[in-house]
Amino acid sequence: MSSTRAPAAPEYPRDAHAHVEETEIVAGLLGSRRGEDHVMLDVGANKGSSAIHFDRLGWTVHCFEPHPGSREALTRRFANRPNIHVDGRALGDATAASVPLYESPESTGISGLNAFHPSHRPAGTVEVTTLAVVARELNLTSVDFLKIDVEGHDFAVLRGVPWDELAPDVIECEFEDAKTLALGHSWRDIAAYLREHGYAVYVSEWHPIIRYGIRHDWRRLVPLGTEPDVHPDAWGNLLAFRTDPGLAAIRGAFDTALELGPKPKSGGRRGGRRRLLRIVRRIFARVRGAAGSSRA
């Protein structure tokens, strides 16, 4: 007798030093879409590590990065790419002028509108707009991928989406209760909001952060509703799909992208070992899937 219950998610302890890049995985899942007619909105673009994957697909990418240093690096990186557009505004659920921006010497990646870390210090002020305003300005009729990584204000960005006019096909947004409980919501509130808007939601969970600015350790991927033991100090990304690719396809994409072991200081022998581990992982996943099918 077959079962519709999803197989248990493979989990990786912290000492496995598992690592994935969710945005790269989304690029792989959307890899058949090519050309400038496809649109990515990169909210919290930092220095372009997410946008680069969609530049390779030839997409039109609108990067929003209010931090001056990161925006300067982002602009230099894509200076000769007419399909990449850089905007210095922050995004939220309401327009506002002269909103305080914070930065941290611990990591440029945690600059934002939320001073959640003791190392944060003022970095000037920024203009805040909404995705509804941006959609009108750019005359957007569709968005293939919306990526949000704005250090605690991800939910505000989502609340600024003009859902009746422009629902992105795929959404990736960061969660971390350590940043957002003080703002009045948890990651489950964000996930429920996405589900209410018709999305299939998956939780990519990472082990609690040891320190910002270093490589972090990934734990697992699970569909929303099957994650009762998410660590209260965990963080991660919610992946939301208007058309659900299915758990098998998404887990397969994660298996392909998975890296195990500490990040090597350079290529060479350790880099080759990581590639070998990824190949072994893919083979193991296929064997496990075949065994599960034979038991069904």
Determine the residue type at 112.
Answer: G
Q: What's phi and psi for 171, nearest 5 deg?
A: -130, 135
Q: What is the pLDDT of residues 218-230, one digit of tens each?
A: 999 999 987 778 8
User: What's the structural domain count of the chain?
Assistant: 1
Whose CA is closest to 144, among 201, 62, 246, 256?
A: 62
Query: pLDDT at residue 8 above 90?
Result: no
Whole-angstrom distance, CA of residue 239 vs CA of residue 179: 19
Q: Domain for residue 285, yes or no?
A: no
Q: Domain for residue 18, yes or no?
A: yes
Q: What is the pLDDT of residues 161-183, one digit of tens each?
A: 999 999 999 999 999 999 999 99
Determine the residue type at 36.
Answer: E
CA angle 177, 181, 183 (to 5 degrees): 125
Helix (H) or strand (E) holding 35: none
pTM for this one?
0.87
Pairing mode, if any, of strands 200-206 and 170-176? unpaired
Q: Domain for residue 1, yes or no?
A: no
Q: Domain for residue 233, yes or no?
A: yes
Q: What is the pLDDT of residues 100-152, one digit of tens each?
A: 988 989 888 888 888 888 888 999 999 999 999 999 999 999 999 999 999 99
Q: Domain for residue 3, yes or no?
A: no
Determine the residue type at 277.
Answer: L
Taking residue 154's Cβ as centre, other Cβ atoms within 10 Å add up to: 27
Residue range of the domain that includes 130: 14-246
- The first and second tokens of residue 23, run together, are 């945005």
Q: What's phi and psi for 240, nearest 5 deg?
A: -125, 130
Q: Domain for residue 211, yes or no?
A: yes
Instruction: Indicate the SS3 state at residue 12.
Output: coil
The CATH number linked to 93 is 3.40.50.150
Q: Domain for residue 139, yes or no?
A: yes
